[in-house]
Structure 1
Amino acid sequence: MFLAACSGGKDTGKQKDNGGTTGKAPDQVLNVLESAEVPTMDSVMAQDVMSFTMLNATNEGLYRLDPDQKVIDGVADGKPVPNADGTVYTIKLKKDQKWSNGDPVTAHDFVYAWQRAIDPKTASPYGPYFMEGKIKNASDIVAKKKPVTDLGIKAVDDYTLEISLEQPIPFFDSYITFQLFYPQNEKYVKSQGKDYAKDASHILYNGPFKMTKWDGPQATEWVLEKNDTYWKANEVSLKKINFNVQKDGQASANAFEAGEADITPKLAQPAIIQQYEGSKNLLRYTEPSIFWLKFNEQNSALKNVNIRKAIALAIDKKALTDDVLANGSIPANFVVAKDFAFNKGKDFRADTGEYLKTDKAKAKELWTKGLSEIGKKELTFNYVGQDTAAAKQTDAFIKDQLEKTLPGIKINLQNIPFATKLDKENKQQYDILFSGWGPDYADPMTYMDLWPSTSGQQHMSYKNPKVDQLVKDAATTLATKPDERWKALQEAEKIVLEDDAALAPLYQRSANLLVADKVKGLAHHGFGPDYSYQWIKIVNTK
């Protein structure tokens, strides 16, 4: 999923509960600051971490992640039951699930949502990308060779689903937790027409909270309230969550100090983070989130591999992570994160290389060669980044690195809101774009299926038939051969970076946010949504 920039030690995902003192019961109201707006609340149209996190709070799919990153039941009543070859799963549903309008949540709601996501008429940015080659007939539906009703999901009865796959999926359990697979109430969605999910009053909810205030994608504040129709409502302590957008890290810290915010956005400015080093309020953890520069090969200069390699090698990643970010992030010479995907207990990164390490001398050499090959002496690129204070600082550093290292390059920075940046990325309206990716499920494929020429999330016009084939093999013929599958994905990563420099990886992020003493039970996740709020409880601290 696409990541929002920050506003300015690994653990299990749970915020430690140190208890609290007794006394008058505190109000169960949480005040949260975020660094970006919510682009959409339509689960079929979502493609970013902000939307997925809010959907995770207000809706529920078949399964969800618990605070320890384990897959637990949501609407499903028990684990999925596979057939002998792992290509068909049967899932029973609970019969007491309700939408916020009182309607029952049934198997038909899942069938409708999945079909809507894959329907070419919907133009879902994630549906085809996420289902093609995995869910039965998804590719043929996208190609308009089969009707949406042929998608590999059917309601055996009101409370039984049957999901058919093109081939076994090794990561099916985590895959099925994703927000794209949430149910939608067909009668309600159709009754709203184009107004569906345009604001808080045009959405139904079946999760821990319901959105009672949100004026749409441009809104800088929104409110969640406890959903009393949720099946585990008795386990949800919070009554209300107030969200406000704050893109300046220092302003977020000031609000936290003043008691106006209980949780800040992820902070990126070193001076702010250093103020809280050693503080019990600083929550820090390493994320499997990778940030990189994307190159739009519709630009003729960026079609040249030496130009791309020169740009990738010219940026001092260690200076970026140590001096600019200074938040625990590490240089990334890879696209599959460290300490994320394991085969037989071994990290994906353990027996593969690192690529495009900083080398300014080599960068200058390749730059000169590339300019000669395309017959240019100077090049100007439009660089698109986000509009938070930390993003602007990072982008300014990258601009300075490139312009001081590569003679004749000029970088025009364009810092814009997150939703606008997503739109430009989807439409390839950029030359160079600062972007990032957080995993959608627990497997290296969540990074590697971005790079085939057929990927619905690439948006770079990059094409290498070898990469296309290796990733396809890993998803099909090698699906049940973990060692060979691993090697195919590792080889594909090497080609994408070392051979082609299709993009320039920059860093793997460390998250740093401030959490008030009174907030217990915040869960953060390694894939899918950033957080779950349903286990939070406000406790007395005095």
Structure 2
Amino acid sequence: MLLLAGCFGGEEASKSGDGDSGKKKEENAGPKVLHLNNTEEPGALHPGKAQGTHDSWILEGTFEGLTKKTPEGKIVDGMAKEGWEISEDGKTYTFHLKDDIKWSNGDPVTAGDFEYAWKFALNPNTAADYAYQLYYLEGGEEYNSADIKKLSADELKALEDKVGVKALDDKTLEVKLKEATPYFIDLTSFYTYYPVNKKVQEATPKWYTEADTFVSNGPFKLTEWKHKESLKLEKNENYYDKDKIKLDEVDFAVIDNESTAYQMYQNGELDMVYPLPQDVLPTLDGKKEYHNGPDLSTYYYNLNTKVKPLNNVKVRKAISMAIDRKSIVENVAQGGQQPAYSVVPPGIPEGDNGDYQENGGDLFKEDLKGAKALLEEGLKEEGMDKMPKFSILYNTNEGHKKIAEAVQAMLKENLGIEVQLENVEFQVKLDREKAGEYQMSRAGWVGDYVDPMTFMDLWVTDGAYNDADWSNKEYDQLIKTAKTSMDTETRMKAMHDAEKILMDEMPIVPIYFYTKPYVLKENVKGFFTPINRYPQYIYADIEK
């Protein structure tokens, strides 16, 4: 899981001059402040409401779950003590919380805060997009899917009480799963599984929207939030592992323009920039400040299957087959990305049988002649003589714009399709996708945990992130099989079969598998990059 490990360490205090010179130098050095860029204004800094990296990068520094990830990529104890108990059938987990854990306001973190947070996300009144990640819990899906218009408060409470998470006391959390889930411990490090301070949530329901009411339990606390401009995190002195936190402060500038962010980095205003402008990537190769590696994520386009003629599978496949992915990664993206002819990216082991993506191989191919024939057939079936003009929706970003322009040109040249481009803020794009108000939209997915299911369950019927609004009963059944089996061979075969169906019907168009290119000042140490997370600043240090 480890991609890039920053070197921990620092300079020794100067020994020249009198014996106190090193100490005086350290005292005069001032606080250690790291300057980063967040590409968008956070949509919701609440574990139960967050839904994108513009939220999670902040949450990963301010919150902590039962478990956490180390720089070596291991899942280790977080709020929970080592040695959690797992029943023989793999369905019941018992976690014992550490004794010295507190919220940033001084309240103790309790098992009840975890139970409350998970049930809050599942509550149908919350409308949490990521609630489905808690469907592994016994009764989780039933509670979240309840029709609140038809149920009384008592009936809804009865469903809540059946959800498989319960605080046995302040320090003991019992979790009951619907089925044994081999990657459940990995999930407990994901932000939807973070706790929420119950007292704060009930007293101040909008606590997560402003810095002065924000309460968290992680290494840092949010102390300033100038909306759409900047955020400031400061070291949380109530964090149980505070001695391992070397930074005093992490300042985020909200910048959606990659060139502006990189210019600020060059001017010394930022210590790290990710993502980078695509046109500077070729100039950075070989420089010590440049880092790159694989990423458990896929860049793709949604096709709205409810909009004619994109409801026709032949039209959808024609669009996909007419896009030259190699040209995009080599001439536009330029970050060493791999053209994607499937959905699940490399980096996920298939048990002891190698890499899942490599085993699955390419599931479709580019074919201009075939694309033209399919488009003609599909349009004829829809009673159309030619493809109507449609738009590609993308969130404001130079890189997304250039890729969309490349796709626009390819569809025009190869299929004679006129495509317009429409850019909006990221949150607006997400809202438009949820409402089905688009024809083709840019999307990307970072794996929440290291298993193919983190991608494959996105497109089940009525899935929270099935923005293509696609449905296939056989696909749904295969995903159910993979979710309910503990046999690796059975699970993997089901997901491979499901992925073939997905690519045969093409409700989404994979473009490439991401890499993670970023620049980091050489005096900043301790950054690490889990395969499915943004570069992590939690244990970073700055050499003065």
**TM-score bracket relative to the smaller structure:** over 0.9
Distance 1:205 1:140 in 2: 29
Deviation at 1:254, TM superposition (A): 2.2
Deviation at 1:531, TM superposition (A): 3.2
- The structure-2 alpha-carbon separation of the partners of 1:362 and 1:447, relative to structure 1 and needing over 3 Å to count, comes to same
Deviation at 1:21, TM superposition (A): 6.7
Deviation at 1:509, TM superposition (A): 0.9
1:517 maps to a residue whose letter is E
Matched, 1:510 2:515: yes
Q: Secondary structure at the match of 2:436?
A: coil
Deviation track 1:320-344 (CA, whole Å, cap 9, x = no partner) reads 0000111111100111111223311
Partner of 1:163: 175
1:419-498 equivalent positions in 2, closer than 5 A = 419-476=427-484, 479-497=485-503
Partner of 1:276: 284
Partner of 1:524: 529
1:341-380 equivalent positions in 2, closer than 5 A = 341-376=349-384, 377-380=386-389
Partner of 1:245: 254
Q: Which has the larger radius of gyration?
A: 2
Deviation track 1:5-48 (CA, whole Å, cap 9, x = no partner) reads xxxxx963322358547554444111112322221101100111
CA contact (8 A) 2:2 2:71 kept: no
Distance 1:418 1:490 in 2: 31
2:486 maps to a residue whose letter is T
Partner of 1:39: 43
Partner of 2:4: 13
Distance 1:320 1:22 in 2: 49
Matched, 1:295 2:298: no
Q: Secondary structure at the match of 1:289?
A: strand
Distance 1:353 1:373 in 2: 31
Deviation at 1:480, TM superposition (A): 1.3
CA contact (8 A) 1:20 1:518 kept: no
Q: Secondary structure at the match of 1:531?
A: coil
Deviation track 1:80-102 (CA, whole Å, cap 9, x = no partner) reads 21111000000000121111111
1:76 maps to a residue whose letter is A
Distance 1:268 1:335 in 2: 25
Deviation track 1:501-520 (CA, whole Å, cap 9, x = no partner) reads 12110000112111001100
CA contact (8 A) 2:2 2:531 kept: no
1:44 maps to a residue whose letter is G
Distance 2:84 2:528 in 1: 24
171, 179, 199: which is aligned to 2:210? 199
Q: Can you give the 5+ residue segments of structure 2 that lack an aligned partner in the other structure?
A: 15-24, 147-155
CA contact (8 A) 1:212 1:224 kept: yes
Matched, 1:326 2:334: yes
- The structure-2 alpha-carbon separation of the partners of 1:143 and 1:32, relative to structure 1 and needing over 3 Å to count, comes to closer
Deviation at 1:143, TM superposition (A): 2.9
Distance 2:358 2:251 in 1: 42
Partner of 1:210: 221
Aligned-CA RMSD value: 1.6
TM-score when scaled to structure 1? 0.93
Partner of 2:391: 382
Distance 1:202 1:391 in 2: 35
Deviation at 1:461, TM superposition (A): 1.7
Q: Which moved more, 1:295-304 or 1:252-261?
A: 252-261
- The structure-2 alpha-carbon separation of the partners of 1:20 and 1:428, relative to structure 1 and needing over 3 Å to count, comes to farther
2:524 maps to a residue whose letter is V
CA contact (8 A) 2:91 2:176 kept: yes
Distance 1:424 1:524 in 2: 31
| Matched residue count | 520
1:538 maps to a residue whose letter is I
Distance 2:114 2:380 in 1: 55
Distance 1:404 1:447 in 2: 32
Partner of 2:134: 131
Q: Secondary structure at the match of 2:166?
A: strand
Moved over 6 A (4+): none
CA contact (8 A) 1:312 1:356 kept: no
2:474 maps to a residue whose letter is K
Q: Secondary structure at the match of 2:476?
A: helix
Deviation track 1:52-71 (CA, whole Å, cap 9, x = no partner) reads 12111001111111111111
1:486 maps to a residue whose letter is M
Matched, 1:257 2:266: yes
87, 98, 101: which is aligned to 1:97? 101
Q: Which moved more, 1:14-23 or 1:297-306?
A: 14-23
- The structure-2 alpha-carbon separation of the partners of 1:105 and 1:366, relative to structure 1 and needing over 3 Å to count, comes to same
Deviation track 1:241-272 (CA, whole Å, cap 9, x = no partner) reads 111123333332322222111101211413x1
Q: Can you give the 5+ residue segments of structure 1 that lack an aligned partner in the other structure?
A: 1-9
1:152 maps to a residue whose letter is G
Distance 1:345 1:208 in 2: 38
1:316 maps to a residue whose letter is D
Distance 2:281 2:358 in 1: 30
Distance 1:18 1:283 in 2: 18
Q: Secondary structure at the match of 1:346?
A: coil
2:264 maps to a residue whose letter is A
Deviation track 1:460-514 (CA, whole Å, cap 9, x = no partner) reads 22111110100011111xx2111011001000000100x2112110000112111
Distance 1:237 1:88 in 2: 37
- The structure-2 alpha-carbon separation of the partners of 1:411 and 1:19, relative to structure 1 and needing over 3 Å to count, comes to same
Deviation track 1:109-150 (CA, whole Å, cap 9, x = no partner) reads 0011011000001111111x2122x11001211232752122
Distance 2:353 2:178 in 1: 27
Distance 2:226 2:258 in 1: 24
Partner of 2:275: 266
Partner of 1:6: none
- The structure-2 alpha-carbon separation of the partners of 1:98 and 1:11, relative to structure 1 and needing over 3 Å to count, comes to closer
Distance 2:428 2:528 in 1: 29
- The structure-2 alpha-carbon separation of the partners of 1:213 and 1:516, relative to structure 1 and needing over 3 Å to count, comes to same
Distance 1:220 1:311 in 2: 38
CA contact (8 A) 1:248 1:389 kept: yes
TM-score when scaled to structure 2? 0.92
